[in-house]
Chains A and B, each alone.
Chain A
Amino acid sequence: MQEDNDQIYRDELFDKLKNSMSLKREEECIGCLIKPALWWIIERPSPTIGELEKLVNDSCPCLKKGHGKKPKPCAGSILGVIKTAAETRKLTRFECIEGLHGFVYPITQSERIYGYIGTCYTRNDVSPEVLNIFSAFTDTIVREIQKELELSKLYETLRPRAIALSTVHTVHRLISSTLDLTELLPRIARLSLQIMRANRCSIKLVDAKKKTLLPKATVDLRQKKTRLKKVKVGKWAPGKAVKYGRPIRGDNYLATPLIDEDVIGVITVYDRIDDKPFSVFDQEIMSTLAEQAVIAIKNAQLYKEQEKLTMGSIKSLAKVLDTRAPGTYVPRASFVKISLAMGQEMHMEADEVKSLEYAAILHDAGEIVVPDEVLTKPTKLTGKEYAIVKEHPAAGVEIIKHMKALKSVLPTILYHHEHFDGSGYPKGLRKDQIPLGARIMAVVSAFEAMITTRPYRVMKTIDEATDEISRNSGTQFDPKVVETFLNVIGKKEIRSMLERELYE
């Protein structure tokens, strides 16, 4: 291998030297001082007498002119001077034909001789200064070419690695951008497939008992797809990778364990599209990708846990509030679903939609400050009582603001009683001054109040409530939000869910 590389380097070096414009210029410049001259390059550190005879036969002007000089003795003297130049590592002069001289300059790098540049048929009165210029000039050209080759080699070595590193960085950015496992795992599978140029990738996670691997995501480009199945730890490549905590590589598969404190799963890629076997380099890249995947998966799992915790707290709070007026604060699943669907149809970001879900449950939490007799009063409220009721959005914010995870919900809770025309409370905001979440919640909470039992109001039917919402579009409610609401409520799935919850 080393010899092959040496030969490649030697070939490139002499190829560049023979085509070097600088060397041609040297021939022109120095040639003026030493002419007439024949320049030659020998591409071996120890040329044979046969090779030199060929050189002389092919190029010697003495032979061409019929000078009478036999090539063999000339080749012999060149061979002798080459040996001297190789020993001294310096420019060496020799007698060419009577009255004329020649020079040999060794091409070296790090004590190693690669070949020689020489001249024949030159003047015999060339001064030492000219010879020094010849040496310096030639040396500079050779060093320049050697540097160029080194740089080129460095570029060829580093560029693929830099591109691979950039790929790893891009993958990190792509998989860090989501905390949703249902989105994350297929993305990791897709990216693994792309990087490995494979036909199939599957991600399996270790189940709680740690005896089985559960398939969680797969991407299969083949016509005949493999059915997703559980794998026992220790079985097949994925199971072995998990059992031994190290990559398991075969010609057409590469299973890489996902290792946190313990092994949490495995990414397996199968069948390269070019039918080549997976390499050690593939294994290294997949191990790096697996390290990043583990961090992203753990983050997503932690986020999911945090979300469950937050939702649990919210539901507990709603349950406590509901004990005062049963059926008022624990929202039906359909209202939450209507809120979420409206947020999605209005192109809200995923985290904003999540906030809407929390707000759907908690928007009236502040009614805890409203006395029971006011809250359950069946007749019209007095001005003083209504003033107390109007404090509930701010009171809700006071209760919830201590939960950091719910910070984004606060504007929706505070402003969900604002009216589109500015006639609402607590601040009399209008139109776009009211946050979108609060405009949505205004419609959903009004609809909810109309179609559920309230002490102060006769329950309306779904159609009656929908009509009233439409009538108040542009005054109490944002027309765009009402339009979205009507669209959502018109969906068969939502309508059936509502009817089931309300009337069955």
Chain B
Amino acid sequence: MNKKPVFESPLHLKIVKFFHENQASIDTPRGIATWIGEDRVKVKSALEDLVKKKILIADRAASTTGYGYTRDTALISKIKKILASLG
């Protein structure tokens, strides 16, 4: 995994950190924006970026989309190392 594209902004990093710390969480853009204290619209866009990178999984329904953390253990290990290196 390339470090640069994954955390292309501090917001992306914040979201990845949130899910890495709460791996069982499934939440809406509004919920995640509340947990990390960021703007919902920007969070929604960043969430979709992270889905494209397969770091997040999206469960889409008519009324909302739930986002959860990847279940790929190799990817989770890589993210763990990157987060540790960032402090």
A-to-B contact residues, CB < 8 Å = 160, 163-164, 166-167, 169-171, 173-174, 177-178, 187, 190-191, 193-197, 199, 221, 273-274, 285
Which residues of chain B have C-beta atoms less than 8 A from A167's C-beta? 24-27
Q: Within the complex, what minimum Cβ distance (angstroms) separates A42 from chain B? A: 33
Contact B63 A170 (CB under 8 A): no
B64 on the A face (CB < 8 A): yes
Q: Mark B16-49, 1 if CB is under 8 A from A, else 0.
A: 0000001111111001000100000000000000
Contact A166 B64 (CB under 8 A): no
Which residues of chain A have C-beta atoms less than 8 A from B35's C-beta? 163, 166
- Complex CA gap A163/B19 in Å reads 11
Which residues of chain A have C-beta atoms less than 8 A from B63's C-beta? 173, 177
Q: Within the complex, what minimum Cβ distance (angstroms) separates A279 from chain B? A: 11
Contact A170 B71 (CB under 8 A): no
B-to-A contact residues, CB < 8 Å = 22-28, 31, 35, 57, 59, 61-64, 66, 68-69, 71, 73, 76
Known: A170-B31, A174-B59. A194 touches B64 (CB 8 A): no
Known: A177-B64, A194-B71, A197-B71. A170 touches B57 (CB 8 A): no
Q: Within the complex, what minimum Cβ distance (angstroms) separates B33 from chain A? A: 12
Which residues of chain A have C-beta atoms less than 8 A from B57's C-beta? 194
Contact B24 A273 (CB under 8 A): no
Known: A177-B61, A177-B63. A221 touches B24 (CB 8 A): no
- Complex CA gap A174/B58 in Å reads 11
Contact A171 B66 (CB under 8 A): yes
- Complex CA gap A503/B68 in Å reads 53
Contact B61 A178 (CB under 8 A): yes
Q: Which of A173, A193, A199 contacts B64, CB < 8 Å?
A: A173
Q: Within the complex, what minimum Cβ distance (angstroms) separates A194 from chain B? A: 4
Which residues of chain B have C-beta atoms less than 8 A from A166's C-beta? 25, 27, 31, 35
Contact B26 A194 (CB under 8 A): yes
Known: A170-B31, A221-B71, A273-B71. A195 touches B24 (CB 8 A): yes
